[in-house]
Chain A
């Protein structure tokens, strides 16, 4: 079990005890090496040493820039990048930049797009994507059933799906649970068994039953980077109307989320804080699940036990996503432009930055942890 997972499960027991425990184990965490990963235009996987905040390695990603979605192998040594207009997946050994895996999903007659959805099984042996196929007939295009595609990582270059199962439309980020299910983030949050294709509802969002005074949630996860807390967050915006006149002005607007614990596959759904500004990516504090951070035009800190935004730091430009060190002390804010902004997780003060060779655009910002 990952150290961070252990920390989280203990943290959940009780925050006082957990805090004490954290102080005790934190030094041990330094034995693991954390790398910050992102993709920059025109096509580079950047491997950043989080001890020194220096780019340690830059791997060439073949194909046109896709969306920069990254999935991590559980051992932190391999990273899988969605490239070539969101059609191909390339696997890299981040210690050498060797390309270990390539799946080209499209054919001459079928264009296959993957919207962010890449994940690796807990044993590192299978890779999952959600495929959105479009038929390219001679004088018309057709829209085909989306599916979960299962690849054997060992098939390496030229890998083809070994199994596929139909899934919903509009699925973006996916993640695997310790039990081996794949969490599917779409209109609702569901989970699929990648052996049988059986699907269960995790959190109804589009199909929730919260009464007529609640606006159907606008749920969207371009980035869900819960590796430091072993969780998956699907954020959403909703509103509670005062009455059936549906007045948008007087409605109470909320940020909500479905947060799936990837240890158990169980989820909680909460309206966490009032909607005051746009956040593109939320992450939790690795040791305190009540504390969330968000990035966009601001870096913000939220205490969901109090349903409050506790700190807001105005950013000089828009950033799309963020991540955090395992010790919970340092926040990295990235995406959009070419600089990663580094902040103190307590005060949100800026404490550094990393300049990259190109724009990150919509790329993920993920933390790979290698323990040797």
Chain B
């Protein structure tokens, strides 16, 4: 018996007609993308279909990020000799990450990798996975994938056939590596990162919010400082957004640029812009309502050089987005920039903070000088009736300084060699001691990024003996660490190269006292593999 109209309707309602509506235009894309798979992939892969849908061998039983799909397609192209045009590849990456992507919660623990913030050392990785898998690449590489048990096992077998020495490397050969990887690690991965999850089930059905519109953006560009800007995203015919960005650095200098963005999986924002004539990339995740995006912006040519990026959608409502700087020392006055949208009405920085002068004021940016006359407190920053979750910390003393990145990896390079140096940029974050008066405890109050002077020192006696601090690199006044030259250094014992282990030290001036913070830095050898994902 055929479905009559009524029953069809009920079925649709039951499975969520909304979701279906949301997917209507992607459905058109889907047929195109499936045609690309049929044309470009079925020389080696196979299609099986039942009435409802088609599945493709090896392709349909895994989910990954746009970068993850990009990496696989690169391998198909370069190692398997698949023929595919750049345009087809773009379409497939979009289709596959839309239909077989990661839910926001699934990608959340590993955003650093998507944000290409790769000169940090991963922490909290399961010991077994660390030893078996994360010694060649990041743990995020597989943390950002979901597969069936079969697919995890085929991934192991691919590693074996592609890198036949893998089971003989130090760290593998002291155990039956292949048997463990194929049986136990794969089973662990299929439990930890299974193909079917409630998160994905929900997200794939959820209605996705269009991210076009006007965004109030705040961020940081190494060497230039914090900025606030407007970014508009207008729909383009090719399914991407045209971007325009315009604003100011904290010192008033103009920041300006334009470019394009693609949104994958309904929330993964990937922008490429030319800003002040430098090509930069944006990687952000939108929240579920599509109202706030957060992530990182970095140099397209040098992923390591970048800073935080945050965007709040202009919905016509009044909203405070940031205050720069986010702290004020008790008894002192300073210039503060309040960033927001549709701002109107009285400025209130809390009890005990006096506004001395409004230097400049518009609906989206207010510059004031203010004096902290009261005692330390964390005050709400309010302008009229605007929404605000922004705070100004009034403090009496910087009790502790943290350095980010805390554990960094950089790489020697240059010197006529194949690989450029991999640098790192540092920032210092100040804290006050909080109510207990003791630094380093849970109630420390984060004051925000603070100006610091920078230096390096050997990490321990061995590093000191090897003079790592003299050879491994240097740090600029702006906190940019520049590693040493590649190649053997005749001045070093055994003509070693310029690798080393250092502390990077930030010194923050707080009135008459100086507060130091340290981060550790491994200056490593060049890494000759360039990857979509580390």
Asked if A169 and B154 make an inter-chain contact with CB atoms under 8 angstroms apart, the answer reads no
Within 8 A of A (CB), among B149-164: 154, 157-158, 160-162, 164
The verdict on A139 contacting B45 (CB below 8 Å), with A111-B161, A169-B178, A297-B494 known, is yes
Query: Which of A136, A139, A216 is in CB contact (< 8 Å) with B161?
Result: A136
Instruction: Return the chain A residue nearest B169 by Cβ.
Output: A220
Residues of A within 8 A of B168 (CB): 115, 170, 172, 220
- Complex: how many Å from CA A142 to CA B494? 43
- Complex: how many Å from CA A219 to CA B44? 40
Within 8 A of B (CB), among A10-52: none
The verdict on A139 contacting B174 (CB below 8 Å), with A314-B494, A317-B495 known, is no
Query: Which of A132, A140, A217 is in CB contact (< 8 Å) with B154?
Result: A140
- Complex: how many Å from CA A139 to CA B494? 47
Asked if B58 and A170 make an inter-chain contact with CB atoms under 8 angstroms apart, the answer reads no
Query: Which of A113, A218, A317 is in CB contact (< 8 Å) with B174?
Result: A218
- Complex: how many Å from CA A138 to CA B168? 26
Chain A 104-143 near chain B by CB (<8 Å), digits 1 or 0? 0000000101010000000000000000101110111111
Asked if A170 and B158 make an inter-chain contact with CB atoms under 8 angstroms apart, the answer reads no
- B177 part of interface (Cβ distance < 8 Å): yes
- Complex: how many Å from CA A143 to CA B164? 10
Asked if A187 and B176 make an inter-chain contact with CB atoms under 8 angstroms apart, the answer reads yes
Q: Report how many residues on chain A are interfacial, defined by Cβ distance under 8 Å.
A: 28
Query: Which of B157, B165, B170 is in CB contact (< 8 Å) with A142?
Result: B157
Asked if B178 and A139 make an inter-chain contact with CB atoms under 8 angstroms apart, the answer reads no
Residues of B within 8 A of A142 (CB): 157, 161
Instruction: Return the chain A residue nearest B76 by Cβ.
Output: A139
Chain A 137-167 near chain B by CB (<8 Å), digits 1 or 0? 0111111000000000000000000000000
Asked if B58 and A220 make an inter-chain contact with CB atoms under 8 angstroms apart, the answer reads no
- A211 part of interface (Cβ distance < 8 Å): no
- Complex: how many Å from CA A169 to CA B495? 38
The verdict on A170 contacting B495 (CB below 8 Å), with A113-B164, A139-B44, A141-B158 known, is no
Task: Give B411 Cβ to nearest chain A Cβ, in Å.
Answer: 20
Asked if B495 and A138 make an inter-chain contact with CB atoms under 8 angstroms apart, the answer reads no
Chain A 240-283 near chain B by CB (<8 Å), digits 1 or 0? 00000000000000000000000000000000000000000000
Residues of B within 8 A of A170 (CB): 167-168, 173, 176-177
The verdict on A134 contacting B173 (CB below 8 Å), with A139-B46, A220-B168 known, is no
Task: Give A275 Cβ to nearest chain B Cβ, in Å.
Answer: 14
Asked if A143 and B182 make an inter-chain contact with CB atoms under 8 angstroms apart, the answer reads yes
- Complex: how many Å from CA A223 to CA B45? 41
Asked if B495 and A206 make an inter-chain contact with CB atoms under 8 angstroms apart, the answer reads no
Residues of B within 8 A of A134 (CB): 157, 160-161, 164
Task: Give A207 Cβ to nearest chain B Cβ, in Å.
Answer: 10
The verdict on A143 contacting B176 (CB below 8 Å), with A170-B167, A218-B170, A220-B168 known, is no
- Complex: how many Å from CA A139 to CA B179? 22
- Complex: how many Å from CA A132 to CA B174? 18
- B192 part of interface (Cβ distance < 8 Å): no
B interface, by DSSP: helix, strand, loop or mixed?
helix
- B315 part of interface (Cβ distance < 8 Å): no
Asked if B176 and A141 make an inter-chain contact with CB atoms under 8 angstroms apart, the answer reads no
- Complex: how many Å from CA A71 to CA B278? 57
- Complex: how many Å from CA A170 to CA B167? 7
Asked if B44 and A169 make an inter-chain contact with CB atoms under 8 angstroms apart, the answer reads no
- B57 part of interface (Cβ distance < 8 Å): yes
Asked if B164 and A219 make an inter-chain contact with CB atoms under 8 angstroms apart, the answer reads no
- Complex: how many Å from CA A115 to CA B178? 15
Asked if B157 and A139 make an inter-chain contact with CB atoms under 8 angstroms apart, the answer reads no
Residues of A within 8 A of B164 (CB): 86, 111, 113, 115, 132, 134
Q: Report how many residues on chain B are interfacial, defined by Cβ distance under 8 Å.
A: 26
Instruction: Return the chain A residue nearest B162 by Cβ.
Output: A141
Residues of B within 8 A of A132 (CB): 164
Residues of A within 8 A of B160 (CB): 134, 141, 143
Query: Which of B44, B165, B170, B176 is in CB contact (< 8 Å) with A138?
Result: B44
Task: Give A125 Cβ to nearest chain B Cβ, in Å.
Answer: 29
- Complex: how many Å from CA A115 to CA B57? 32
Asked if A143 and B173 make an inter-chain contact with CB atoms under 8 angstroms apart, the answer reads no
The verdict on A140 contacting B173 (CB below 8 Å), with A170-B168, A317-B495 known, is no
- Complex: how many Å from CA A111 to CA B157? 13
- Complex: how many Å from CA A188 to CA B161? 23
Instruction: Return the chain B residue nearest A168 by Cβ.
Output: B176
- Complex: how many Å from CA A140 to CA B177? 20
Instruction: Return the chain B residue nearest A142 by Cβ.
Output: B157
- Complex: how many Å from CA A135 to CA B177? 19
- Complex: how many Å from CA A111 to CA B162? 10
Instruction: Return the chain A residue nearest B56 by Cβ.
Output: A139
Residues of A within 8 A of B157 (CB): 134, 140-143
Instruction: Return the chain A residue nearest B58 by Cβ.
Output: A139
Residues of B within 8 A of A220 (CB): 168, 170, 173
Residues of B within 8 A of A143 (CB): 157, 160-161, 178, 182
Residues of A within 8 A of B161 (CB): 111, 134-136, 141-143
Chain B 132-148 near chain A by CB (<8 Å), digits 1 or 0? 00000000000000000
Chain A 171-189 near chain B by CB (<8 Å), digits 1 or 0? 0100000000000000100
- Complex: how many Å from CA A93 to CA B175? 39
- Complex: how many Å from CA A140 to CA B160? 12
Residues of A within 8 A of B162 (CB): 141
Task: Give A246 Cβ to nearest chain B Cβ, in Å.
Answer: 13
List 28 A–B pairs whose Cβ atoms lie within 8 Å, in order of A's numbering: A111-B164, A115-B168, A134-B157, A135-B161, A136-B161, A139-B46, A140-B58, A140-B157, A140-B158, A141-B158, A141-B161, A142-B157, A143-B182, A169-B167, A169-B176, A169-B179, A170-B168, A170-B173, A206-B175, A206-B176, A218-B170, A219-B173, A219-B174, A220-B170, A297-B494, A314-B494, A317-B494, A317-B495
20 more A-B residue pairs beyond the given contacts A86-B164, A220-B170, A297-B494, with a C-beta to C-beta distance below 8 A: A132-B164, A134-B160, A141-B157, A141-B162, A142-B157, A143-B160, A143-B161, A169-B167, A169-B176, A170-B167, A170-B168, A172-B168, A187-B174, A187-B175, A206-B175, A216-B175, A218-B173, A218-B174, A316-B495, A317-B495
Show the binding face of A for B, using Cβ within 8 Å.
86, 111, 113, 115, 132, 134-136, 138-143, 169-170, 172, 187, 206, 216-220, 297, 314, 316-317
6 closest residue pairs by CB, A with B: A141-B161, A134-B161, A113-B164, A138-B44, A218-B174, A139-B45
